[in-house]
Chains A and B, each alone.
Chain A
Amino acid sequence: MLLIECPWCGERDESEFSYAGEAHIARPLETEKLSDEEWANYLFLRKNTKGLHREQWNHAAGCRRYFNVERNTVSYKISGSYKIGEQGPVGDET
Chain B
Amino acid sequence: MSQSFRIAHGGRIDRDNQLKFSFNGKTYTGQAGDTLASALLANGIHMVGRSWKYHRPRGILSAGAEEPNAIFQLEKGEKTIPNARATQVELYDDLDASSVNCWPSLDFDLLSINSKVSRMLPAGFYYKTFMWPKSMWMKYEHIIRKASGLGKSPEVNDTDRYEHSHRHCDVLVAGGGVAGLTAALAAGRAGARVILVDEQSEFGGMALSSHDKIDGQPVSEWIQAAVAELQEMPEVMLLPRSTAYGYHDYNFLTINQRLTDHLALHKRKGGREKLWHIRAHQVVLATGAMERPLVHSNNDRPGIMLASAVSTYVNRYAVKPGERAVIFTNNDSAYQTALDLNAAGAQVIAVVDARSQSSSELAKMVRSAGIEVMNSSAVVDTTGGKRLQSVQVMSLSSDGQSVSGQRRTLSCDLLAVSGGWSPVVHLSSQSGAKAVWNEEAAMFIPGKPVQSQASIGSANGTLELKHSLIEAVDAGNAAARACGFESSMKAPQSDAVDSDPIMPLWLVPSDKEKGREPKAFIDLQNDVGSADIELAAREGFHSVEHVKRYTAMGFGTDQGKTGNINGMGILAKTLNQTIAETGTTTYRPNYTPVTFGSMAGQNLGSRLFDPARKTAMHGWHEENSAEFEDVGQWKRPWYYPKAGETIHDAVNRECLATRNSVGILDASTLGKIEVKGKDSAKFLEMMYTNNWMKLPVGMARYGFMLGEDGMVMDDGVTIRLAEDHFYMHTTSGGAAGVMSSMERWLQTEWPEMEVFLTSVTDHWATAAVVGPNSRKVVSAICDGIDFSAEAFPFMASRVGKIGELECRVNRISFSGELAYEVNLPANFGRFMWEKLMEAGSQYDITPYGTETMHVLRAEKGYVIVGQDTDGSVTVDDLGMSWAVSKTKADFLGKRSLSRPDTARKDRKQLVGLLTELPDSVLPEGAQLVNDPGAATPVPMVGHVSSSYYSACCGHSIAMALVKNGRQRMGETVYAPLSDGRVLKATITKPLFYDKEGAKSNV
State the A residues within 8 Å of B (CB): 1-3, 13, 20, 26-27, 30-32, 34, 36, 39-40, 43, 56, 58, 60, 64-66, 75-76, 84-85
Contacts and interface: CB of A to CB of B under 8 A. Distances in A.
B740 A58 contact: yes
Contact of B279 (A3, A26, A40, A58): A3
B751 interface: yes
Interface of B: 166, 248-250, 252, 277, 279, 432, 450, 708-709, 740, 743-744, 747-749, 751, 889-890, 894-896, 899-900
Contacts of A75: 432, 450
A66 B890 contact: no
B743 A66 contact: yes
A39 B903 CA distance: 15
A36 B899 contact: yes
Contacts of B889: 32
Contacts of B708: 43
Contacts of B279: 3, 13
A61 to B, nearest CB: 12
Nearest to A43: B708
B749 A85 contact: no
A1 B252 contact: yes
Contacts of A84: 747-748, 751
Contact of A31 (B248, B751, B894): B894
A85 B249 CA distance: 28
19 contacts: A1-B249, A1-B250, A1-B277, A3-B250, A13-B166, A26-B749, A27-B749, A31-B894, A32-B895, A34-B895, A39-B895, A43-B708, A43-B709, A56-B748, A60-B740, A66-B743, A66-B748, A75-B450, A84-B748
Contacts of A20: 744
Contacts of A60: 740
Contacts of A64: 743
A32 B248 contact: no
A78 B749 CA distance: 24
Contacts of B894: 31-32
Contacts of B740: 58, 60
Contacts of A76: 249
A39 B748 contact: no
A17 to B, nearest CB: 12
A2 B249 contact: yes
A1 B250 CA distance: 7
A66 B751 CA distance: 11
A70 to B, nearest CB: 15
B106 to A, nearest CB: 43
Contact of B896 (A13, A26, A27, A43): A43
B748 A2 contact: no
Given A1-B250, A84-B747, 19 more contacts: A1-B252, A1-B277, A2-B249, A3-B250, A13-B252, A20-B744, A26-B749, A31-B890, A31-B894, A31-B895, A39-B895, A43-B708, A43-B896, A58-B744, A64-B743, A65-B747, A76-B249, A84-B748, A84-B751
Contacts of B249: 1-3, 76
A58 B748 CA distance: 11
Nearest to A40: B899
A58 B741 CA distance: 11
Contacts of B252: 1, 3, 13
Nearest to A29: B890
Contacts of B747: 65-66, 84
A30 B894 CA distance: 11
Contacts of A26: 749
Nearest to A32: B895
Contacts of B450: 75
A39 B751 contact: no
Contacts of B744: 20, 58, 66
Nearest to B686: A27
Contacts of B896: 39, 43
